[in-house]
Structure 1
Amino acid sequence: MYTYDAGSNITTCKTYAYTEADTVTGTAKTTETYTYGNSAWKDQLTEYRGQKIRYDAMGNPISYRGMTMEWEQGRKLKKITGNGVTQSHSYDADGIRIRKVVNGVTTQFYTNGTSILAQKSSDGTRLDFLYDDQGKLFAMEYEGERYF
């Protein structure tokens, strides 16, 4: 169950046990708290699960849970480091992400204009994106299975 502040931001999420009749029972099993502590940017999440989130002047997150994020050209995520993770991103001239590298595994994104047609990783995984005749995404295909 969710509670909200006056700005319609989620402030808590409580999880309850259910009976066989799908009714809520007892007290909450878990409670997650969301904090919005920036008075100038009222919907900017500044703390989640007791962990502070820090932002740059543009509103991009720059640190959370021991991880550091670097940004370029405004809102393009360039790099994430921390907690044993090293992740980098590359973009084409139109600002579309064309490659990411996570702990040495490279994922290449194949595009047509601003549409991503497929992504293929150096570990052998591939994900295809399927579009209708109007250019709207209608399905994804992964390991021979189609997901709508």
Structure 2
Amino acid sequence: MLRVRELFDIPCLKGSKVIAGEKGLDKSIFCVDIIEVPDADKWVIPGTFLLTTAYAYREDYSRLEKLVKVLAEGGVSGLGIKVGRFIQNVPEEVIRTADHMDFPIVLLPLDLPYVSVIKEVMQLIFERERLIKKSSDNQQILQKFLSEGFSEEEYIEFLHEHDL
């Protein structure tokens, strides 16, 4: 798990900027996905950080505002938008809606490949999940050792021998 605010520590996202929903920067991210279709609201998954060029909304910004509402209500973590190709800026009404709903909108560099974001964010999420699992496994081993009368030293030796 990752918080939206931690995205800006990831190398490929250094040039990104929050333009709305700053109060939502502590929302959790469990995965990253791309959204480039007009009916994307059908696939809302809580905890997802979505990436888009807003191509499907370039001719009707009111649909982009509606999308932001649906995503926020559906528990999506935030929306990263590339501006400069299909839309030149994020309309004020979209920013106001996102701010009102504490829904982070992040401007992404136009030349940033989606695959870079997905790869780096998901690697970080998977690594954190691995560490959490390892910690949980070690705690279970410790409880077993202590309940069976082993000493702390024997437990530490066991962890060291098994590279845990």
Question: TM-score normalised by the shorter chain: which range applies?
Answer: under 0.3
After TM superposition, the score normalised by the length of structure 1 is: 0.22
- What TM-score does the superposition give when structure 2 sets the normalisation length? 0.20
Q: Which has the higher contact order (CA 8 A, sep 6+)?
A: 2
As a proportion of its length, which structure holds more strand?
1
Q: Which one has a larger percent helix, Structure 1 or Structure 2?
A: 2
